[in-house]
Amino acid sequence: MLSKVHVIVTGAGAGIGKEIVTSCLSERAHVVACDISEDSLNELKASYSTNKLSTYTVDVADYDSVKDFFKQIKATSPGVNALVNNAGIYLAQNLLTYSEEEINKVLDVNVKGAVYFSQFFGKYLIEKDAYGTIVNMSSVWYGSCKDSFL
């Protein structure tokens, strides 16, 4: 039972992130769901009638957006003790065809986003003199190597 867990989940509006939220709520954890899509978060919130779920629209690739989010968390959710870095993008195309702009976008979301959240979460815990947990996730359907890279 996770009733003492207060977890931030990025990329919570759909897919694996949404399933993580569902699983955490079923275990009675408090969940702070983050996503770039406000519509997805509104649908998520409408799916549950609980005061253990709060939602925030955050662009994980935007340093200032993450910084502002953690200012809000300090004020509204002082018990947060876990972070699931789940937000990510996959362009569903051959890696060899990615433009420089597309590569930068993938790195901004998939790498920088996780680093930004981990950095601010770490600072948050240090300020509270508390322990916490960070889970970093990634996934992609890739088919065969030939289909993915050639």
User: Domain limits of the chain?
Assistant: 6-139
The CA angle 19-21-111, to the nearest 5 degrees, is 85
pTM above the 0.75 mark? yes
Phi-psi category of 139—alpha, beta or left, where left has phi over 0 and alpha has psi -120 to 50?
Answer: beta
Task: Write down the residue that tokens 């989940």 correspond to.
Answer: 9
* Best CA proximity match to 32, nearest among 49, 11, 14, 55: 55
Rounded distance, CA 150 to CA 134, Å? 35
Coil/strand/helix, residue 32: strand
* Best CA proximity match to 40, nearest among 62, 15, 65: 15
pLDDT of residue 4: 87
Q: Helices marked H in 27-135 — which ranges?
A: 38-47, 63-76, 100-107, 113-128
Rounded distance, CA 29 to CA 114, Å? 22
Q: Are 98 and 90 in contact (CB under 8 A)?
A: no
pLDDT digits (tens, 9 = 90+) for 45-61: 999 989 999 999 999 99
CATH of domain 6-139: 3.40.50.720
Pairing of strands 6-10, 30-35: parallel
* Each residue's pLDDT expressed in tens, for the chain with a length of 150 residues: 566 899 999 999 999 999 999 999 999 999 999 999 999 999 999 999 899 999 999 999 999 999 999 999 999 988 999 999 999 998 888 889 999 999 999 999 999 999 999 999 999 999 999 999 999 998 765 554 445 444
pLDDT of residue 95: 85
Q: Which amino acid is at 44?
A: L
